Amino acid sequence: MAVSAAVDDAALGDVRRRFRGELITPAHPGYDVHRRVWNGSIDRYPVLVARCADADDVTTAVRLADRTGLPVAVRGGGHSFPGASVVDGGIIIDLSLMKEIQVDPVARTARAQGGVLVGELDRATQPFGLGVTGGIVSHTGMAGLTLGGGLGWLMRTYGLTIDQLLSVDLVTADGRHLTVDAATEPELFWGLRGGGGNFGVATSFTYQLHAVGPTVMAGPVFWPISDAPQVLRFYRDWIAEAPDELMTLVVHRKAPPLPMVPPQLRGRLVVSVVACYVGSIEDAHRVLLPLKSHGRPLLDLCTPKPYVEHQAMFDASFPHGWWYYMRSCDVPELTDDIIELTVAHAARITSPRTAFPIWHLGGARARVADDATAFSGRSAGLTFNITGATETADGFDVERDWVRRFWADLEPYGTGAYVNFLMDEGPARVRQTYGAETLRRLCALKRSYDPANIFKFNQNIVPDEDARS
């Protein structure tokens, strides 16, 4: 596909004189590499990839977009499910060169620039036995994860990523540099915690760290798919009394061809419960015993291991370049009806790459007031992240249709969704996700900080959307 738009030569020349990073145009030999994002089904052609070296570069790129009128996408880790970090005929403000991490083990804080990935931050904090909630795939960008809320293995113990956020350095739509925290910009700080990338480009984040590991009791226990109804009913009862230190996922999939999976199990439809206990190994053995002894597991890989190793366990199952399609739904609990439809749809999985997690919520994340941040869905019991995946376009339509049918059956039981799990589902879905009062406050912030909606390639808060609603 040819790129039909271009950046004015004079404007680009002016940018080159002051830009410290790298400017990638369609003529650059690395253009095809730098325009790609994690989701291989997204194939878009920007006119410029501005690989920023610092916040001043970000300001330069924002002002270039303003002068040229070209659309803007912002990329931290490039993990946006619907591909919001790349735009046809526009400018990518790419933060992937901005990798600085500063850890203060005494104050238990970490400052991470906007291009830092989950695994990179973990590797910087874990030598001190510290960490922050950070997703379940280590090549996810911390920036997008944080701005949307931040689910992860530590959330039941310490809350969402935003609950551990102390401040954000932000470049606004008019090129200003702001340091945003609860004291200096309380309303904007509220909106940045769950409102996504709607109000500017976040160039760095400061987090409160907590004691984690470095060894945790973690990993999956597998059963045959035929046992899924009993496993899910057991799981429902078991997690009702789970301590905050325990976080779990239920995953249905074909057993992957990984070294730790026996050859005779690979490719077989299974249900697994993946656990992570953020406490003593002695306590973990006691808490996890009912899970590990339920029924007749095919394989038990839940053992003491380094936290950084557990954080990376799903990396091989969600690599860059595969084709992905997702739909999401929060539910209060696993009712018998939800269990029945979950098992029925899981049995129809055809791709060996498809693996959908059901997230165990509650704990510390649920004890933060609904209006304390822009994040919605604090009271949800579980969230379904229904994910279809193929290595290439072959079979992708089948998996996408499977996801849509599953979601359509589940949606009547739903109470909302996690904003980072939304695809390109339109403004009505964004309104539903945030709710009327949160949306009203977000729209007011949008009118103050980005009235022209320059930052619209995201789960977009339209400046006058509350009036329309």
Which tens digit of pLDDT belongs to each residue from 388-443? 999 999 999 999 999 999 999 999 999 999 999 999 999 999 999 999 999 999 99
Share of residues in the chain with pLDDT > 70 (%): 98
pLDDT tens readout for residues 258-315: 899 999 999 999 999 999 999 999 999 999 999 999 999 999 999 999 999 999 999 9
Residues 272 and 288 in one domain: yes
- Supply the CATH number for residue 180's domain: 3.30.465.10
Q: For residue 1, is it within any domain?
A: no
- Residue 257, domain member (yes or no): yes
User: Alpha-carbon distance 438 to 375, whole Å?
Assistant: 8
Residue 23: pLDDT band with limits 50, 70, 90: very high
pLDDT at 319 over 60: yes
Predicted confidence (pLDDT) at residue 211 exceeds the cutoff of 60: yes
pLDDT number for residue 12: 83
Residue 3 domain-assigned (yes or no):
no
- Claim to verify: residue 70 and residue 165 sit in the same structural domain: no
Do 365 and 313 reside in the same domain of the chain? yes
Residue 429 within a domain: no
Q: Do 264 and 295 share a structural domain?
A: yes
Ramachandran region of residue 423, left (φ > 0), alpha (ψ -120 to 50) or beta? beta
> Are residues 301 and 408 both part of a single domain?
yes
Residue at a domain's end among 158, 181, 211: 211
Integer Cα distance of 165 and 163 in angstroms: 6
Co-location of 393 and 354 in the same domain? yes
Among 196, 211, 226, which residue terminates a domain? 211
| Residue at 2 is within a domain | no
Using the predicted structure, report yes or no on whether residue 469 has a pLDDT greater than 70: no
**Domain harbouring 35, CATH code:** 3.30.43.10
Torsion of CA 424, 425, 428, 433, to 10 degrees: -90
413 found inside a domain? yes
The confidence score (pLDDT) of residue 16 equals: 87
Confidence of residue 14 (pLDDT cuts 50, 70, 90): confident
For 234-253, write each residue's pLDDT tens digit.
999 999 999 999 999 999 99
So what's the pLDDT on residue 15? 86
For residues 316 and 258, the answer to whether their CB atoms sit within 8 Å is: yes
Domain span including residue 332 = 215-421
d(CA 281, CA 295): 23
**pLDDT (tens digit per residue) in 157-187:** 999 999 999 999 999 999 999 999 999 999 9
Residues 204 and 219 in one domain: no
Is pLDDT at 376 greater than 80 in this prediction?
Answer: yes
Give me the number of domains the chain comprises: 4
* 366 in the same domain as 248: yes
pLDDT at 47 over 80: yes
With respect to residue 428, please indicate whether it lies within any of the assigned structural domains: no
Do 196 and 242 belong to one domain? no
Are 295 and 332 part of one and the same domain? yes
Last residue of a domain, one of 161, 187, 211: 211
Give the Cα separation of 336 and 229 in Å (integer). 9
192 and 252 co-located in one domain: no
The reported pLDDT for the residue numbered 2 is 47
Residues 310 and 415 in one domain: yes
Residue found under tokens 């791709």: 351
Mean pLDDT taken over the chain: 96
- CATH code assigned at 227: 3.40.462.20
